[in-house]
Structure 1
Amino acid sequence: MIRSGLFALMFLALAVPASAKVYRDRSVAMTTVQDLEVERYLGLWYEIARFPNRFEKGCVGVTAEYGLLEDGQISVTNTCREETLNGQVRQAEGKARIEGPGQLSVTFVPWLPFARGDYWVLGLRADYSVAVVGAPRGSTGWILARTPEISAADRNWAESVLQKNGYDTGQLTYIPQVEIAE
């Protein structure tokens, strides 16, 4: 597996909204999961869909894995395959911290204090099988799942959560996925 500093720097885009495209109506108030149980949220998530962004350009088979650190922060390991499911693997490691109910901030470049991006959990299935994540700026948003594929019902539910939070789901990109061997 290749660990690329460049991939980590691309995640800096989370904190640089000036040229980022906006996918949501920012006049719509965002709502987050108020009773997020962080311990249940930890583990491996597959990226089912996302709004296009610079730092994931060309990425397929994307996963995010979260773990609890001794200091109470959350480790974040994002993995992507370049262009095809058999493509070169890129990985970025970061840290997240809880900012409020269902609200986290993430950094992949901890030595830059301004390089934190909002990561708000907007919706979560009761069994923690599907999550919807976004940011107030509206330049990022994801549908995540514990499995590489989701049902039509889960997809409709996730899109409705995004729409309720002002997102234009017509701009979502569904991502080819691959099962990760354990």
Structure 2
Amino acid sequence: MHAPHTPVPLHRAVSILMLGVAMVLSSCVSAPDGVTPVTGFDVKRYEGRWYEIARLDHPFERGLTNVTATYSESPDGGVLVLNRGYDPKSRKWKTADGLAKPLGDPGTGSFKVKVSSPFYASYHVIALDQKAYGYALVSGPTRDYLWILSRTPQMKPATLGELKAKAAALGFPTGELIMVSHDPVPESGGQ
């Protein structure tokens, strides 16, 4: 026999719902367990164009080549993000604008990013060429999101190997990384 259903007061139901939403959203901006963003981070030096060398597959970049991310200062103190990639099937460029804001200390490479969505997700720089800002290893909120970035379309094999080894040691599925082509795009590729 079932106990009679006791209705939850509306204000309590809303509070429970808001707590659940807050928990889900906060998990979207935190780093994966055991993954620590770099410190001594300088957002001004990080600005500019980065080439995606490798990534874990996900729907919003699936099939794209020649992927770049360009970061620039936002008037509100955040960072403007322009993601760009070429879709060989449609022979067109795809772009997505976004906004990144530091999570806590601006000297830590950890941001919440909103790209084509009302919700923020996390962006954590977990390895960085501190001397020249020439390469970066970036994580999302879970180990399902990983990017290897470079200031140039090609990366030295030794550097790539070091970044893959670091990611593997942190529990990322590096065997699933997709190497991103940066071959010239035909003139008919459009913009």
The TM-score bracket by the shorter chain reads 0.7 to 0.9
1:117 is displaced (CA, Å) by: 1.1
Out of 157, 176, 179, the residue aligned to residue 174 of structure 1 is 179
Q: How does 1:30-109 map to 2 (within 5 A)?
A: 30-83=35-88, 87-100=91-104, 101-109=108-116
TM-score by length of 1: 0.77
Whole-Å separation in 2 of the counterparts to 1:177 and 1:161: 24
Runs of 4+ in 1 over 6 A off after TM superposition: none
Give the count of matched residue pairs.
152
Q: Which amino acid aligns with 1:105?
A: K
Whole-Å separation in 2 of the counterparts to 1:179 and 1:120: 30
RMSD over aligned Cα atoms = 2.1
Whole-Å separation in 1 of the counterparts to 2:178 and 2:96: 21
Which residue does the alignment assign to 2:162? 157
Larger Rg computed on CA atoms: 2
Out of 116, 120, 127, the residue aligned to residue 120 of structure 2 is 116
* Identity, % of aligned positions: 31
Name the SS for the 2:45 alignment partner.
helix
Per-residue deviation, residues 7-46 of structure 1 (Å, max 9, x unmatched): xxxxxxxx8x9xxxxxxxx6x5002111111000000000
CA contact (8 A) 1:148 1:179 kept: no
> Which of 1 and 2 has higher RCO (CA within 8 Å, sep 6+)?
1
Q: Which runs of 5+ in 2 are unaligned?
A: 1-24, 186-191
Q: Which amino acid aligns with 1:93?
A: D
1:165 is displaced (CA, Å) by: 2.1
Name the SS for the 1:30 alignment partner.
coil
Whole-Å separation in 2 of the counterparts to 1:140 and 1:177: 20
1:35–1:164 Cα change, 3 Å: farther
1:178–1:71 Cα change, 3 Å: farther
Whole-Å separation in 1 of the counterparts to 2:156 and 2:134: 11
CA contact (8 A) 1:129 1:146 kept: yes
Q: Which amino acid aligns with 2:93?
A: V
TM-score by length of 2: 0.74
Whole-Å separation in 2 of the counterparts to 1:179 and 1:145: 17
Q: Which amino acid aligns with 1:57?
A: R
Bigger share in helix: 2
CA contact (8 A) 2:96 2:116 kept: no
Which residue does the alignment assign to 1:139? 144
1:77 is displaced (CA, Å) by: 0.1
